[in-house]
Amino acid sequence: MHAQSLRATVAEVVEKTPVFDIHTHLYDPVFGDLLLWGIDELLIYHYLVSESFRWMDMPYEKFWAAPKQQQTEWIWNELFLKHSPVSEACRGVLTVLNKLGLDVNKRDLPSLRKWFAGWKPEDYVTRCCELANVRKIAMTNTPFDDAERPVWERGFTRDPRFAAALRFDPLLVDWPNAAKRLHGWGYKVSADFSGQTFAEVRRFLADWTKKIGAQYCMVSLPPDFEFPAQTDAAKIIEHAIMPHGREHNQAFALMIGVRRNVNPQLQLAGDSVGIADVTAVERLCAAFPQNKFLCTMLARENQHALCVAARKFRNLHIFGCWWFMNVPSIIEEITRMRLELIGLSVTPQHSDCRVLDQLTYKWAHSRPIIAKVLAEKYDDLAATGWQPTREEIERDVHGLLGGAFEEFIGRR
């Protein structure tokens, strides 16, 4: 294949290959208001909240006390009307509107609102999945959420496009309170780990894995996460999550490096980043070779060491350019490095969408970067005389966009 047509083929295959988006905060429409969508939700995305406060001098309390439509008007004014919306998160809103066929140049928020008001959520899921070419969406499902838990407890017919992932941050970052909640739900646990505690945490994990059909379980952790250690988190991992993972052949996803609430005034937008210790991940992988780990890290400084860790441990699958890593310059750099270090045994991206519509922009922005980096790599191979066939390109891209992840979590 000529270099020009190789690049065009890779770009086309990456566009046309449906994605399994392995980590989002989206919900099956049966969860009602938990599934966020539409122009006001797009504007009040926490990425935009923190960017708008860089310009606004109103007290935080005034912002939070206002109705949502007032908040989004303030954000729209600051980030779209008073300054050009060049940040990645602002550009994302415009990409969404553009892909939906709306004229962004009118800068007309009221008419955008009217347009969105005409949709039914179920139909809109279909539209967004079509536009983003997404075949499956992993939710983030936590029994600790009082709005979510009752829906699972009632039971419902699942929308097959949504996969479940069992999320349990409180178990590892706030064990004393998590223990109280588990106790309240009938699990015989004690805050001091005495008696049946670990067996009962395992029973909790098994019950919820079964109830929601969890494809994997997951946690986000601060940068000071250590393993091994004399911490609640390390004990629960060793004595409950690891045996649970082996028994149910369930991978454990670690998202490491978030410093929650560094500015509480910003609420959900107030979290920051810290450099973590990748050796904790290596030690987990070494101590539990029969367990499978998925991992993404928040600090740019950790990306190289994490990739090296994946070279050393086949039970580690790295994924995504998480949150502050999810900007084009860094996605390109990290994706290139990953392909150079571990080839195609990686899931380069997840969307982390909180608002359904964002599927469109997150994938529209990432796909061309993945295609560019991959085409460069094939070009380098072509220079040796190795020409990838179209079938090989399709196979490789399917792997990068969710296939390698499915193979990893399915492996025994």
- In the complex, the residues that contact ligand FIX under the rule CB under 6 A are 46, 220, 255, 323, 352, 354
User: Is the CB of 46 or the CB of 161 nearer to ligand FIX?
Assistant: 46
Read off the amino acid at residue 287. A
Residue 216 beta carbon to Zn ion: minimum distance, rounded to whole angstroms: 13
Q: Which does 200 bind (CB under 5 to 8 A by kind): ligand FIX, Zn ion, none?
A: none
Which entry of Zn ion, ligand FIX, none binds 303, CB below 5 to 8 A by partner kind? Answer: none
Give bridge partners of residue 297 from the DSSP assignment.
Answer: 256
- C-alpha distances (whole Å) from 69 to each of 40, 43, 65, 73, 109 are 7, 10, 12, 6, 10
Q: Please, which residue, 258 or 339, has the CB nearer to ligand FIX?
A: 258
CA distance 75 to 71: 6
- C-alpha to C-alpha distance for 382 and 289, rounded to whole angstroms: 37
Measured from the CB atom, the residue of 1 and 327 that comes closer to Zn ion is 327
Burial of 112 (0-12, 13-18, 19+ CB in 10 A): buried
Q: How many residues belong to the chain?
A: 412
List the one residue out of 407, 350, 331, 401 whose CA is nearest residue 16.
401
Question: Which of Zn ion, ligand FIX, none is residue 397 near (CB under 5 to 8 Å by kind)?
Answer: none
Task: Tokens for 83, please give them.
Answer: 């300054």
- The interface partner of residue 288, options being ligand FIX, Zn ion, none and the CB cut-off 5 to 8 Å by kind, is none
E strands, 248-304, in order: 251-256, 258-259, 272-273, 293-297
Quote the least distance from Cβ 260 to Zn ion, whole Å. 12
- Residue 6 C-beta: closest distance to ligand FIX, Å: 33
Shortest distance, CB of residue 133 to Zn ion, whole angstroms?
21
Q: How far is CA 98 from CA 102, 132, 306, in A?
A: 5, 13, 36
Q: In the structure encoding, which two tokens stand for residue 44, read together?
A: 């009040």
Out of Zn ion, ligand FIX, none, what residue 354 binds, judged by CB under 5 to 8 A for its kind, is ligand FIX
Query: What does the per-residue mask of binding to Zn ion show for 111-150, with x meaning CB under 5 A?
Result: ----------------------------------------
Instruction: Candidates 21, 40, 271, 352: give the one binding Zn ion (CB under 5 A).
Output: 352
Binder of residue 363, out of ligand FIX, Zn ion, none (CB less than 5 to 8 A by kind): none
Tell me how far, at minimum, the Cβ of 225 lies from ligand FIX, in Å: 13
Side-chain half-sphere exposure of 181, counting CA atoms within 13 A = 16
Out of ligand FIX, Zn ion, none, what residue 37 binds, judged by CB under 5 to 8 A for its kind, is: none
Give backbone dihedrals phi and psi of 44, rounded to 5 degrees, phi first.
-95, 15
Shortest reach from residue 151's CB to Zn ion, in Å: 20
Quick one: tokens of 350?
């997840």
**Shortest Å, Cβ 264 to Zn ion:** 19
β-bridge mates for residue 255, sequence order: 220, 296
Burial 13-41 (b: 16+ CB within 10 A, else e): bbeebebbbbbbbbbbbbbeebbbbbbbb
Which of residues 255 and 318 has its CB atom nearest to ligand FIX in the complex?
A: 255
Nearer to ligand FIX, 116 or 323 (CB): 323
Q: Where does this chain bind Zn ion (CB under 5 A)?
A: 352
